[in-house]
Structure 1
């Protein structure tokens, strides 16, 4: 049981993003079939599918950040010596921490504003969907801190994922 829980905790962004994208795909396909063959549809499916898609995108972005899977251009840095690479890595970590932290802060403000706005069909709080931004960038901020600490303590491990 402990091993399964640990594996879940390591991969929870990917697991939930996958569940959200499966839900999105299922709802869209079901609605297409219902509309084509039965001339009816699920009135709330588009709103739920959109919300699930948004959650899958932001959780996927956090997972990609954690796995260092986002595109980066390091052609010039790769030509530099090890000390310069270590310095640039730490500087980039600090910049990304500031950016992710700032977006997290903006997400809190946005969430407070969207909390009172209901969705058009279901009438639930828009914060249900908007909170994906806060969760995602909070995770990326945490990962930025972990990367920064690791790259200062063990610069030789800077290319490893968490």
Structure 2
């Protein structure tokens, strides 16, 4: 829960920073003042907000998905589909983390156009975000396996506002 809270705070600060940076750059450009560094800073913040936000969405099961077919299956079958998907997702995340780490290493000498910092700070968002999502996916796989072991699939029941179960 601490990691989730930290991610939520990071997302709020990151999104607020993006809004302020882009708005200030636009207003100052109107008055003829240069704030070109804000574009690079916004790019850096955006990369981190995207990957940390993806993990936050995954933790809360808020990723977009098409469940029209899967929702018609029994809870046991849904659990199997989710387990398969989670194993597939973890494989993909491992690939992105490995190649993202390589990208960080390759970009360590490259700097932003207007900021005197390494571009690796932006590319590091991919392996860090994927590592967080790998942890989240492992927790989900553990839940799927425990559902099978206990033959209890109640954790998959959809809840609507008001507490009713679908």
| TM tier, smaller | 0.7 to 0.9
Q: Is the 8 A contact 2:37 2:114 kept in 1?
A: yes
Please list, as runs of the form range in 1=range in 2, the aligned pairs for 1:3-152 lying within 5 A after superposition.
8-37=2-31, 39-152=32-145
Aligned length: 153
Counterpart secondary structure, 1:11: helix
Of residues 137-146 and 118-127 in structure 1, the stretch that sits farther from structure 2 once superposed is 118-127
TM-score, length of structure 2 as denominator length: 0.82
Residues 10-54 of structure 1 show CA distances to partners (whole Å, capped at 9, x for unaligned) of 2222221221121121122222222223x2122312211221122
**In structure 1, how many angstroms separate the alpha carbons of the residues matched to 2:121 and 2:28?**
27
Gaps of at least 5 residues in structure 1 are 1-5
RMSD over aligned Cα, in angstroms? 1.9
The 1:32/1:11 distance shift into structure 2, 3 A limit, reads same
TM-score, length of structure 1 as denominator length: 0.84
The 1:158/1:105 distance shift into structure 2, 3 A limit, reads farther
Gaps of at least 5 residues in structure 2 are 148-152, 159-166
Q: Is the 8 A contact 1:97 1:144 kept in 2?
A: yes
The 1:158/1:152 distance shift into structure 2, 3 A limit, reads farther
Please name the residue that 1:3 is paired with. none
